[in-house]
Structure 1
Amino acid sequence: MNVQSQVLFVGGRSGVGKSSVAFELHAQLAALRIKHCVIEGDSLDLAFPPPWEDHLAERNLAAIWENYRDLGYRRMIYTNTVSVRFTQELAAAMGDVPRITAVLLTATDETSSARLRGRIQGSDFQEHLDRSKAAARELELLTPEWVHRCPTDNRSVREITADLLALTGWTTEPAD
């Protein structure tokens, strides 16, 4: 029998904790010996000029997921700022019909700014901060209502991860 694929889309503005949460999910799932993969969607089309109109992220996701599926993986954690707005397109790129869970991580401007200041040391800090604020407004307006919202202000990565594991139910391997 074929086990249905499952995908957790984690979206949110810069500085909200997407990567930190994905890495903690990975650590906890690995400790439980739960087979999964983590894909940082931002890396799938990180180029200049941006190749968005060519749907390069979806094409690369399709190729990477095919390789994971061939090796027996059925669970994916996918992070990208706007992934929660495009779950159907990304799921279609997976080439199967995964069960979708989507979570929009949220944070105040102050929290996001403090986190970004800790990791961006270059002259483009203000540009990153401005893009993060704009993304937060856009995500709040355009993210579908069915997507779970998860505030990250004053919460540890472990607390947030516990919420996401509860949503997915990924604490055991799926039955064949």
Structure 2
Amino acid sequence: MLLIGGRAGVGKTTVGWEISDRLREAAVAHAILEGDYLGQVHPAPPGDPHRSAVTEANLTAVWGTYAALGHRRLVYTNTVSVLPDSAPMFERALGPGVRIIRVLLTATDTTTLTRLTAREIGSALDRELAGSARKSRLLDAHSPPDTVRVATDDRTVGDIAAEVLAVTEWMAPDTGGDGGR
């Protein structure tokens, strides 16, 4: 499992899709999920104010479908997915012993301001900017030591995706007997 985390505006979704495209081109079986969508329900379910239980239930259900098809690799993008307190959810949803590769995408305040200003055309810009700065500090302070940090400032999506993919070793010839799954 490849977890791609980072503050709002850092490029998680864009890099995730670029990685997926490169894996498709290399005929490497995989699935990709944007974790933010798994908990998008309002109001929050009773007893689940942070929507973590609904996120886990949806992840378990979707991964169950992918796993039944034979998939063994998952690209998962979500702001705080790289934090250690997320690991138990992934182990419950994907099964014990899942190998987790954590990548934290980083960007300066200036870069994220530029990206979020272009992306947020509604009323959420100020909230997104404040949340992005807060999450950046949280991620810097609490990401585990094995988290690979990848700067995204002034780089192409292709370069960033190549660096992240190199960490996974998923593009190496598959010798696991599962046909790249």
User: TM-score normalised to the size of structure 1?
Assistant: 0.91
- Consecutive unaligned residues of structure 2, counting only runs of 5 or more, are none
Name the counterpart of 1:72: 70
How far is 1:97 from its partner? Answer: 2.3
In 2, distance between residues paired with 1:174 and 1:37?
A: 19
Name the counterpart of 2:38: 44
Name the counterpart of 2:102: 102
* 1:12-63 C-alpha deviation (Å, 9 max, x unpaired): 0000000000010011111111110100000000122334355111111111
CA RMSD, Structure 1 to Structure 2 (Å): 1.4
In 2, distance between residues paired with 1:145 and 1:96?
A: 21
Question: What letter corresponds to residue 167 of structure 1 in structure 2?
Answer: V
- Consecutive unaligned residues of structure 1, counting only runs of 5 or more, are 1-6
Task: Kindly indicate whether the alpha-carbon contact (under 8 Å) linking 1:9 and 1:87 is maintained by their aligned counterparts in 2.
Answer: no
How many residues align structurally?
A: 170
Q: Secondary structure at the match of 1:126?
A: helix
Give the 3 Å change call, closer, same or farther, for CA 33–54 of structure 1 in structure 2. Answer: closer
Q: Secondary structure at the match of 1:99?
A: coil
**1:7-156 alignment, distance < 5 Å:** 7-50=1-44, 51=48, 52=50, 55-85=53-83, 86-156=86-156
In 1, distance between residues paired with 2:134 and 2:93?
A: 27
Is 1:165 aligned with 2:165? yes
Q: How many percent identity over aligned positions?
A: 39
Name the counterpart of 1:4: none
Give the 3 Å change call, closer, same or farther, for CA 93–174 of structure 1 in structure 2. Answer: farther
How far is 1:87 from its partner? Answer: 2.9
Give the 3 Å change call, closer, same or farther, for CA 157–91 of structure 1 in structure 2. Answer: farther
- Give structure 1 regions of 4+ aligned residues with deviation exceeding 2 angstroms: 49-54
Question: What letter corresponds to residue 115 of structure 2 in structure 1?
Answer: R
Which stretch shows the higher mean deviation, 98-107 or 75-84?
98-107
* 1:51-84 C-alpha deviation (Å, 9 max, x unpaired): 4355111111111111101001110000000000
Question: What letter corresponds to residue 68 of structure 2 in structure 1?
Answer: D
Give the 3 Å change call, closer, same or farther, for CA 54–35 of structure 1 in structure 2. Answer: closer
How far is 1:141 from its partner? Answer: 1.0
